[in-house]
Amino acid sequence: MTLFPFYDYWWFYLGFTAFVLVVLALDLGVFHKNAHEVNFKEASIWTTIWISLALVFNYLFYLYAQYRFSTHERYTSIPGFDPDAQAKSTALEFLTGFVVEKSLAIDNIFIFAVVFAYFGIPKKYQHRVLFWGILGALIFRAIFIAMGSVLMQYHWVVIFFGALLILTGFKMFFAGTKPQNLENNFIIRQLKKVFRVHPQIEGQKFFFKKEGLTYVTPLFLALVFLELSDIIFAVDSVPAIFALTKEPLIVFTSNIFAILGLRSMYFMLAGVMDRFAYIKYGLASVLVFVGLKMVWLNEAFGGKFPISWSLGIIALLIGGSIVISIVIDRRKQKLFIPKVDLKDSN
């Protein structure tokens, strides 16, 4: 049984969507009205704000679920239903989904860096590209989640996507840290065939008119490539969250909150991404784990693997890969520090 059926909670979806649109409008129309280079301090502040908003929402959602579960006949009539325990489980599912999507989004950040470098997008215009890119990602994620809420009701679909996540995880694991080259990328080549491309950056414009003809700028090509890349990533990330919860409402809200803070996280990590070379192995392990949940672990644990265990395992995998990356990076830096002979200096 779905705890938050759409026909009873359509107003919640509508209100949440309106909130997201208002926040995005304030972001672009007020806080980032003028194109500028986002520095580490500004990005860190915004990253903290987005994460804090998600945590506040999670707490309020927990309080609401607790009240709803203990007062509404839909839930109180269920034999053995524990409102408090279910509300806590619901909040943990949101938090775990948010952590998973936030973690998997790190792979998007590496793509951002490669795409911006390839098209030569100045740092002061990167926020604008990411804003529209993430707005499009929100729309596509909503479509994927709606489709997933229907398809995931079929056991064979769950097994299929679980196996896909496992295969993707192993592929990512063995791919290691090999840098990506977009020079011969199929999508890039097709975009250049379809659109009339203006070779130069024209401010923050996506389109440019010259001699009566409309050209697309490198900003537009970067935007389209990022949108298509996110659709590909969604094939992994959306099923991954459905492995943690069967509630479309939780999948939708946790996914959206994770994506909202993706721009600021990119600008915060842009200068230090090379220090997290081994985080890909942590992400690959997370994909394998959630895939195993879908094809085996959930059934082995009576229909649902404990969500608290899931959160702990995922945090350990991601946190461990980050710590390993930092430790190895510091060791490498020490090896390249030139030793000064004090006797010679005297």
Q: Is the Cβ–Cβ distance between 133 and 221 less than 8 Å? A: no
The answer to whether residue 179 scores a pLDDT higher than 60 is: no
pLDDT for 138: 85
Quote the percentage of the chain above a pLDDT of 90: 23
Q: Is pLDDT above 80 for 176?
A: no
Q: Tokens for 103?
A: 């973690």
Q: What angle do CA 267, 263, 188 make, to 5 degrees?
A: 95
What is the crossing angle of helices 218-242 and 186-194, to 10°? 130
pTM: predicted TM-score of the whole model, two decimal places = 0.83
pLDDT digits 0-9 by tens, 25-36: 877 666 666 667
Nearest CA-CA partner of 51 in 5, 11, 103: 103
pLDDT(185) > 90: no
How much is the pLDDT for 195?
Answer: 84
Q: Is 98 helix (H, G, I), strand (E, B) or coil?
A: helix
Domains of the chain, residue spans: 6-149+177-274
319 contacts: CB under 8 Å, gap ≥ 6: 282
What distance in Å separates the CA atoms of residue 131 and residue 140, rounded to the nearest whole number?
14
Phi, psi of 3 (to 5 degrees): -75, -30
> Can you tell me which residue has the tokens 């923050």?
204
80-119 pLDDT per residue, tens: 889 999 999 999 999 999 999 888 877 778 788 878 888 8
Which of 129, 140, 232, 144 has the alpha carbon at shortest distance from 186?
A: 232
Shortest CA distance to 101 belongs to which of 264, 276, 268, 290? 290
Q: Residue 250: its pLDDT value, please?
A: 95
Alpha carbon distance, N-terminus to C-terminus of the chain: 79
10 Å CB burial of residue 272 (0-12, 13-18, 19+) is exposed
**Of 40-49, 243-252, 326-335, highest mean pLDDT:** 243-252
CB 118 within 8 A of CB 182: yes
162 vs 234: CA distance, rounded Å: 14
pLDDT band at 62 (very low <50, low <70, confident <90, very high): very high
Q: Which of 47-61, 232-246, 282-296 has the lowest mean pLDDT?
A: 232-246
- The answer to whether 153 and 248 are in contact (CB under 8 A) is no
- Please tell me the distance from the alpha carbon of residue 82 to that of residue 301, in angstroms, as a whole number: 19
